Amino acid sequence: MPDWVLTRRREIGARIRAARLDAQLSQVQLGERIGRDHRTIHRWEYGMRVPNLDDLLLLADALGLTVSELVR
């Protein structure tokens, strides 16, 4: 995997985390809103995994953002 992909993955995770904190949600609360485990939220936020398109749509809706705001 090229380094730039890992960097972008971490950047997207940081945006998810920042948006979650702005919405004053815990990882557990966000997970409950989108039907995912809090460990999954953690993995996304720290760039260990990347959400698929369906998950990005759910995240954006739960956080009051657009998908493009999460992945810009």
Q: Output the tens digit of pLDDT for each of the chain's 72 residues.
A: 899 999 999 999 999 999 999 999 999 999 999 999 999 999 999 999 999 999 999 999 999 999 999 998
Identity of residue 69: E
- Residue 14 CA: distances (Å) to CA of 45, 71: 6, 10
Rounded Cα gap, residues 27 and 45, in angstroms: 9
36-55: pLDDT as tens digits? 999 999 999 999 999 999 99
CB of 47 closer than 8 Å to CB of 9: yes
Distances (CA, A) of 34 to 4, 40, 64: 28, 11, 13
The domain 3-71 is classified under which CATH number: 1.10.10.60, 1.10.3710.10, 3.30.450.40, 1.10.260.40? 1.10.260.40
What does the domain layout of the chain look like in residue ranges?
Answer: 3-71
Q: What is the pTM of this model?
A: 0.92
